[in-house]
Amino acid sequence: MSAPGLLLVVAVAVLYSGGFYLLLQRSLMRVVLGIVMLGHAANLSLMLTDEAITLPPLLGGPQGEISDPLPQAMALTAIVITFGVTTFLLALAYRVWLGDNNDEVPDDLEDRRIGRLREPEDSS
Amino acid sequence: MLLPFLLALHAVVAALLPPLARVLGTRVFVVACLPPALTALWVLAHAPDVVAGQPVTSAVTWVPALDINLEFRVDALTLAMVLLVSGVGAVIFGYCARYFHTGERGLGRLSAVLVLFAGAMLGVVSTDNLFALYVFWELTSITSFLLIGHDDRKEHARRAALQSLVTTAGFGLPMLVGFILLGQIGGSFRISTLVADPPVGDPLLPVALVLVLAGAFAKSAQVPLHYWLPGAMIAPTPVSAYLHAAAMVKGGVYLVARLAPGFAEVDPWRALVLTFGMATMVVGGWRALRQDDLKLLLAYGTVSQLGFLTLLAGTGTQVAATATIGVLLAHGFFKSALFLTVGVIDHQTGTRSIAALSGIGRRMPVVAGAATLAAASMAGLPPLLGFVGKEAALEAYLPGGDPATALPSGAAAVVLVGVVLASVLTVGYSARFVWGAFSTKDTVAERRVPRPAAAFVAAPVSLAVLSLAAGVLPFAVDPVAQGYAAAFDTSGEPYHLALWHGLTPALGLSALVLVAGALLFHRRVTVARVQQALSRWPDADRGYHGVVHAIYVVALRVTRLLQSGSLPVYLGVILATLLALPGARLVMALASGDVAPPGAGGNELRFWNTPLEGVVALLIVVTAVATVREHRRFPALILVSAMGFGVAGLFVLYGAPDLALTLVLVETLTTIILVFVLRRLPATFGTRPDGWAKRLTVLLCAAAGTFIAVSLWLMTAARTDPPVSLGYTSLAREAGGDNLVNMILADFRALDTFGEVVVLATAAVAVTSLVLLRRSRVVEETDPGPDETEEERAGARTGEGERT
C-alpha cells in the first residue's frame, strides 16, 4: 500500500490548523467559519485513504480500474451534514446578535462563580 | 447446604420488618431475631463436622466468566465468627425489644438495617470468593453507615456515620485492588485455594497484601485509622454492642486470620501486622483509661482489643492461632455484655458519665454482677474465657513457648512486652469501668433509679455467663481453636486452650499483669494527672478532618484553575491534551524508529497524485491562511467560499464528480446564507491584540493540525488490508448501477442517507423557527442575580483569563 500524496497531507494540515484557530476565537461568526473549514479538512482526510484516487468510481470506464467509492460516499454525506450544521449555527449566531447586538462568545458566568467560591474553614 | 437460603432469609425478613414495626412496635426485634438465631442453630448443628476438619461448602454460580461466584465455606474460623455474628446478634436483637420504646422514630428502618447488616456480615465470614467477600464487606460498610447515623436529626450522628463510611469504604477500594492482584497472580479468586497454594515469590504479592491489609486495618480500627470507632459510639447502644463488639470491627480481624495461614510468611505481612497491632493495642488502652463516658471507655477498650486480635491473627503460628479464636470469642462475649450493661444503665438513669453515676451497684446487683464477670474476663482473670485466651497469647510470644515460632526472638520479645503493657492497661480500665459504673462515690449524689426488668437484663447476664462457662469448660471452645490452628505448622506439641497449664512463665506474667493493673487502678489519680500532662498527643481525628478539608480545598483550586468559563481556554486544553498524550507518543515512536515515515521503510513516497493538484492545493492553502488572518467580515466570507470551491476543484481532480457537484452546490448556498446573516452584523470581527497569548494559540493550532494530518498520513501508509469496497463492484452490477457512490448512498447504505435527510430536515425546521421568530418576541436575557454585578458581566464578556 503506498502512502497518500504529500501535497494533500499538507493541505489537510493547513485546513485543520486554520479551523482550530478560528474555533478558538471569541467571535461567533469566526467560530462558524472554523467549523466550515474543519468540515473541508475532514472531507479531504477521507480522500487520503484512497489509493487510485484519480479514477472515478464509475463502472465500465476505459481503464477498468476505479477509485475507492466508500470514502467518497462518506465525504458526500459529511458535506451535506456540515451544510446543515453550518446553517443552524448561522441562525443561532443571528439570533444571538438580535438579542445582544453582539456576536461574541461570553464566558460562562456560572463557571466563574464556582471559581470564586471561598475556601471554608471546615468542610468535613 | 442451607447457607444461601439463610442469607436470603435475612434479606426477606429485613424487607418485611418496616411494615411489621408499625403493628408490633418494639416487638419487631423479636421477629428480627429469627434469621440470626436460625443461622446460629444451623451452624451449631454442623459444628462437629466442621471442627473435625470437614468444612461445609456450597456454591451459587454468579458471573462464572469473571470467576465471581457466591461460594460459601464454613470452617472452624467461620464457625467462631458465625457464633459471634449470629449467636450474639440474636441475643442483642432480643435486647433491643426492651431497650427501645414503642413509638420511637425509625424503629422499622433500624430493625431492617440491623438484619441486613447481620446478613451481610454472615456473608463476609462465610464466603469463599474474594469478590463476593468484597461485596458483602461493602454492604456492611453501608449498613453500618445507616446504623451509626440512625438518629439522622443529630448533626453529630450524620458526621460520625459519614466518617466511618469514608474511612472503611475508602480503604475498601485499595483492598479491592489487592484482591484483584491476589486473584490474578494466584490464578484463582477462591480464598481457600489461594490460602492453600499461595503464589509465594511473585513480586506483586507484597503489594497485594499491603493493599488488602489497608482495608482490613481500616475496618478493624487500627491506629491511625481508629478514630472512626469512638465517633461511631453516637449510635444506639445495642447497635454499638453488635457492630463494634461482636461483628463489624471483627471483619478486619477475620480477614487477617483468614489469609494468615497462606501469607503470614510473606514480607512485609508480619512487620505490618505486629507494628500496627501493637500500636493500636497500647494507644487504645491508654486512651480508654481516661474516658469519663462509659461507652467511650469501652470503645477505646475495643480499639485496644482489636489491635491485640490483629496482632494475634496475623502472627501465623499455631499457638497464636489458638489464642486468636480464644480471644475472639472471649472479646465478643464480654464486650457485648459490657455494652449492653451500659445500655441498661443509660436506659434507667439517663447518663453514662462516670462522674454522675453512684450507687448503681446497690440498685442493680444482678447487672453489676454480670458486668463484673464480663469485666473480669476482659481483664483476664481466671476462670474466665478472657484469661484462657490471654494465657495462650502470652505463650505465643514467650521465648521457647511456641516450638514452631516463626518470629525472630528479638521481635517476639518486643511483642511480648507490648502485650504485657497493653494487658496491664486493660486491667486498669476494666477495673475503672466496674468502679465507675457501680461503686458508691461519696462525692456524687445518689439518685433513685427504677430497677430494670428481668427480660432486659437477661441479655447481658447470659453473655457474661457464657464468658464464665466457656472459661470453666475450655474444652468446649478448644476444638474450634484447634480446627483453625491446624492450618499452621504443628510440628511441635499443639497448644490447647485450658485453664491450667501448670506453673508456666505465662501464668507468672498473668499474675504480674493483674498486680500491675490493680496498682494502676489504685493510683488512678496519679495516672489521670500524667495523662493530663501528656494529652497534647497528635489526634487522629483531627488528622481525618485535615485530610478531608485538604481534599475539598484542592478540588476547589483545581476547579478554579480549570473551570475558567472561557470556551477558547477549554478548547485549547483539549488540543493541548491531544498533543501532550498521543502527539508526544507519535514523536517518540518516530524518533525511536518504531514507526517509519513513508519513503524510509521501503514505502514509496508520493508528492502528488496529479500535477494539477499543486495549483489547487496552493489555492486552498492561501485562502485558508488568508481567512484566518482576515478581520473584515465580507472578505473573510469571500475567502471561505473560494476555499470551498478550491476543495471542490480537488474533488474534480480526484475523480469524485458527485462530491464536486454537491460541494459546489453547498458552497453556493452557504455563501448566500452567510451574506444574508452578515448583512446585519458589524463590518469587522472583534480582534485581539497581538501578544504571546496569540502566538501561543497559533502554535498550538498549527501543531494540532499537523499532528492530525501526519498521523492520518502514517496510518494510511501502514494499511495492510484491501478496502472493503472492492466487493461493491459486483454488487453494484447485480443491482444494475454504474455509479458506485450513488449505489452506496441510495442502496447499500440507504438507511444512513435517510438519517442524513432527517438531520437536514431538522436543521431546516430549527433555522426557520430561529430566523422567522418575530423580533419583538426575543426573550430578554435573564435578569442577573443580586450577586452578579454589571461589572462582572462585562468581565465575562471580554473574557479575562483568556489565552487567545
B781 forms beta bridges with none
The residue-averaged pLDDT of A18-35 equals 91
Contact assessment for residue B305 and residue B326, using Cβ atoms and an 8 Å cutoff = no
Residue listed under C-alpha cell 500532662: B533
Q: Is the pLDDT reported for residue B130 higher than 90?
A: yes
Residue B777, pLDDT score: 52
Give the C-alpha separation, B19 to B248, whole Å: 27
Residue A51, pLDDT score: 65
Task: Extract the runs of DSSP E, i.e. beta strands, from B236-361.
Answer: none
Task: Extract the runs of DSSP E, i.e. beta strands, from B681-775.
Answer: none
Contact residues on chain A for B573, CB-CB shorter than 8 A:
none
CB contact under 8 A, A57 and B745: no
Chain B, 422 to 441: residues with Cβ < 8 Å from chain A are: none
CB contact under 8 A, B705 and A16: yes
Contact residues on chain A for B560, CB-CB shorter than 8 A:
114-117
Contact assessment for residue B232 and residue B226, using Cβ atoms and an 8 Å cutoff = no
Contact assessment for residue B323 and residue B386, using Cβ atoms and an 8 Å cutoff = no
Residue A120, pLDDT score: 65
Residue B801, pLDDT score: 40
How many percent of chain B have pLDDT more than 90?
48
| Highest mean pLDDT (candidates B403-407, B647-651, B682-686) | B647-651
Q: Is the pLDDT reported for residue B800 higher than 50?
A: no
Contact residues on chain A for B567, CB-CB shorter than 8 A:
105, 107-108
Q: What are the φ/ψ torsions at residue A27 (nearest 5 degrees)?
A: -75, 130
CB contact under 8 A, A124 and B544: yes
CB contact under 8 A, A114 and B771: no
Contact residues on chain A for B631, CB-CB shorter than 8 A:
none
B73 forms beta bridges with B57
What pLDDT band is residue B429 in, cutting at 50, 70 and 90?
Answer: very high
Query: Taking CA atoms, what residue in A is nearest to B541?
Result: A124
Longest dimension (CA), chain B: 111
Give the residue from B663, B711, B793 with the most A CB atoms within 10 Å of its CB, the best one to mutate. B663
The residue-averaged pLDDT of B384-403 equals 82
Distance from CA of A65 to the nearest CA of B (A): 11
Q: Is the pLDDT reported for residue B330 higher than 90?
A: yes
B595 alpha-carbon distance from chain centroid: 43
The residue-averaged pLDDT of B14-25 equals 91
Contact residues on chain B for A86, CB-CB shorter than 8 A:
670, 673
Q: What are the φ/ψ torsions at residue B800 (nearest 5 degrees)?
A: -65, 160
Q: Is the pLDDT reported for residue B46 higher than 50?
A: yes
Distances (CA, A) of B531 to A85, B11, B305, B421, B524: 74, 47, 20, 16, 10
Contact residues on chain B for A1, CB-CB shorter than 8 A:
716-720
The residue-averaged pLDDT of A43-69 equals 74
Residue listed under C-alpha cell 467477600: B133
Contact assessment for residue B318 and residue B485, using Cβ atoms and an 8 Å cutoff = yes
Contact assessment for residue B344 and residue B460, using Cβ atoms and an 8 Å cutoff = yes
Give the C-alpha separation, B93 to B419, whole Å: 33
What value does the mean pLDDT of chain B take? 87
CB contact under 8 A, B753 and A3: no
CB contact under 8 A, B756 and A94: no
Query: Global pTM?
Result: 0.75
Contact residues on chain B for A14, CB-CB shorter than 8 A:
620-621, 624-625, 705
Taken in order of first residue, the domains within chain A and their CATH numbers are 6-57+67-115 (1.10.287.3510)
Q: Does B540 touch chain A (CB under 8 A)?
A: no
What pLDDT band is residue B783 in, cutting at 50, 70 and 90?
Answer: very low
Contact residues on chain A for B643, CB-CB shorter than 8 A:
37, 40
CB contact under 8 A, B685 and A67: no
CB contact under 8 A, A109 and B565: yes
What value does the mean pLDDT of chain A take? 82
Give the C-alpha separation, B401 to B421, whole Å: 19
Instruction: Report the alpha-carbon angle B662-B667-B673, nearest 5.
Output: 130
Contact residues on chain B for A120, CB-CB shorter than 8 A:
549, 552
Residue B593, pLDDT score: 82
Q: Does B802 touch chain A (CB under 8 A)?
A: yes
List of residues 6+ apart from B478 with CB closer than 8 A: B322, B496, B497, B498
The residue-averaged pLDDT of B547-575 equals 87
pLDDT in tens, B454-470: 888 999 999 999 989 98
pLDDT in tens, A114-123: 777 776 665 5
CB contact under 8 A, B545 and A122: yes
What pLDDT band is residue B622 in, cutting at 50, 70 and 90?
Answer: very high
Q: Is the pLDDT reported for residue B537 higher than 80?
A: no
What pLDDT band is residue B802 in, cutting at 50, 70 and 90?
Answer: very low
CB contact under 8 A, B753 and A77: yes
Report the SS3 class of residue B370. Answer: helix
B277: nearest Cα among B323, B245, B312: B312
Contact assessment for residue A37 and residue B689, using Cβ atoms and an 8 Å cutoff = no
Q: Is the pLDDT reported for residue B788 higher than 80?
A: no
What pLDDT band is residue B142 in, cutting at 50, 70 and 90?
Answer: very high
The residue-averaged pLDDT of B607-629 equals 88
Contact residues on chain A for B608, CB-CB shorter than 8 A:
5-8
Q: Does B789 touch chain A (CB under 8 A)?
A: no
What pLDDT band is residue B804 in, cutting at 50, 70 and 90?
Answer: very low
Give the C-alpha separation, B745 to B432, whole Å: 88
Residue A68, pLDDT score: 82
Contact residues on chain A for B666, CB-CB shorter than 8 A:
79-80, 82-83
Contact residues on chain A for B724, CB-CB shorter than 8 A:
70
CB contact under 8 A, B697 and A48: no
CB contact under 8 A, A17 and B702: yes
Count interface pairs A-B at CB distance under 8 A: 355
Distances (CA, A) of B331 to B144, B165, B242: 20, 24, 12
Q: Does B25 touch chain A (CB under 8 A)?
A: no
B555 burial (CB, 10 Å; 0-12 / 13-18 / 19+) is exposed
Chain B, 292 to 311: residues with Cβ < 8 Å from chain A are: none
Distance from CA of A62 to the nearest CA of B (A): 13
CB contact under 8 A, A94 and B752: no
Residue B75, pLDDT score: 92
| Residue from the list B654, B799, B801 with its beta carbon closest to the beta carbon of A54 | B654
Q: Is the pLDDT reported for residue A90 higher than 70?
A: yes
The residue-averaged pLDDT of B539-557 equals 86
Q: Is the pLDDT reported for residue B786 higher than 50?
A: no
The residue-averaged pLDDT of B333-337 equals 94
| Highest mean pLDDT (candidates B114-123, B447-456, B628-637) | B114-123
Q: Is the pLDDT reported for residue B421 higher than 90?
A: yes
Residue A123, pLDDT score: 52
| Residue from the list B567, B698, B740 with its beta carbon closest to the beta carbon of A66 | B740
Q: Does B724 touch chain A (CB under 8 A)?
A: yes
The residue-averaged pLDDT of B339-357 equals 90
CB contact under 8 A, B709 and A102: no
Give the C-alpha separation, B474 to B385, whole Å: 7
Domain boundaries, chain B: 3-522, 739-780
Contact residues on chain A for B681, CB-CB shorter than 8 A:
29, 97, 103
Q: Is the pLDDT reported for residue B157 higher than 60?
A: yes
pLDDT in tens, B262-276: 998 888 899 999 999
| Residue from the list B609, B666, B762 with its beta carbon closest to the beta carbon of A54 | B609
Q: Is the pLDDT reported for residue B337 higher than 90?
A: yes
The residue-averaged pLDDT of A41-63 equals 75
| Residue from the list B706, B797, B804 with its beta carbon closest to the beta carbon of A13 | B706
